[in-house]
């Protein structure tokens, strides 16, 4: 407990999209007395083992929310599978081991839907992790997240701490990364549509034939749940899916981006580009009794994400 009698919550990845959303929603939803300590890359390099241990000693958190990760879109992941594996393993190993060694009894670890097998049954349930081969375009990142999630489950079962794993679907919203090559599907579609509008282009490029389906959750919906569930970590199952519960095709996301940005041209499909898994829809039924009920429809969320893009890219 901190001086006010509440939790001291260390938030890693504070500069990322989810980290920013948690900070944005914290004053509205946090329990009285709880204190949030956001830490981004500029504050501490979690790839540095000694600095990570120092950070835990300085903050002395009762709870860690671990959002920090090296992330990227399909092109970035496919181009550096080994780098995504090692960079994320290093960060997770340093942070999780330091937290346990220094007596932190509560950790909320943010996993990824990439942890699930490719071409598996739909919707995916929590027991499907490690049930089949991974999608090769992002297997490095997926393996690192599986390792981090596995540590949380094992140490909780063996040593009585409450280290829990949330597995969100793909996220989008304010604070997203819109940079070419790094952006995920929704942000990439919005940025491409905006460029097409401003340049007067008549076509909007789409990787693949547009039929692959993806589930995206508005980031503030996840942040709200994350903050509310901190009081119930001990009650959560070891691993919990938190997705929107509905998916859309890649072509649909580009059509929504066109609507939001005012693009009136046509979609141009490039079937030579990689598309990843054909479908990746999760079941979040286990999370519903804990209050999981994402409220933001995709078009509304994409309009909010685009407004954020315009504000940050005038």
Work out the end-to-end distance of the chain between its first and last CA atoms, rounded to an integer number of angstroms. 44
Query: How far apart are alpha carbons 140 and 103 in whole angstroms?
Result: 30
Count how many residues are written for the chain.
Answer: 314
Q: Which residues are tagged catalytic? A: 141
Query: How far apart are alpha carbons 39 and 263 in whole angstroms?
Result: 38
DSSP β-bridge partners for residue 290: none
Query: How far apart are alpha carbons 282 and 123 in whole angstroms?
Result: 5
């Amino acid at each position: 407990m901190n001086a006010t009698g509440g939790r001291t919550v260390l938030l890693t990845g504070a500069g990322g999209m989810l980290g920013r959303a948690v900070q944005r929603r914290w004053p509205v939803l946090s329990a009285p007395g709880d204190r949030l300590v956001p830490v981004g890359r500029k504050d501490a390099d979690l790839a540095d083992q000694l600095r990570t241990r120092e950070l835990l000693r300085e903050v002395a958190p009762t709870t860690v929310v671990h959002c920090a990760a090296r992330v990227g879109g399909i092109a970035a992941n496919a181009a550096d599978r080994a780098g995504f594996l090692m960079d994320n393993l290093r960060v997770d190993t340093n942070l999780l081991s330091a937290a346990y060694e220094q007596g932190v009894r509560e950790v909320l670890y943010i996993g990824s839907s990439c942890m699930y097998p490719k071409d598996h049954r739909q919707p995916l349930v929590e027991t499907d992790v490690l049930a089949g081969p991974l999608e090769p375009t992002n297997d490095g990142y997926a393996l690192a997240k599986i390792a981090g999630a596995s540590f949380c489950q094992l140490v909780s079962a063996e040593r009585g701490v409450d280290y829990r794993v949330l597995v969100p679907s793909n996220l989008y919203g304010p604070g997203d990364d819109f940079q070419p090559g790094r952006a995920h599907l929704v942000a990439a579609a919005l940025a491409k549509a905006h460029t097409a509008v401003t340049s007067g282009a008549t076509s909007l490029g789409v990787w693949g034939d547009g039929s692959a389906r993806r589930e995206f959750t508005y980031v503030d919906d996840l942040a709200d749940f994350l903050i509310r569930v901190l009081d119930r970590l001990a009650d959560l199952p070891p691993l919990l899916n938190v997705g929107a519960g509905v998916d859309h095709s890649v072509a649909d996301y580009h059509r929504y981006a066109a609507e939001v940005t005012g693009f009136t041209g046509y979609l141009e499909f490039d079937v030579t580009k990689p598309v990843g898994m054909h479908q990746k829809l999760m079941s979040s039924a286990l999370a519903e009794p804990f209050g999981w009920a994402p409220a933001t429809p995709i078009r509304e969320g994409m309009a909010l994400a685009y407004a954020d893009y315009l504000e940050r890219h005038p």
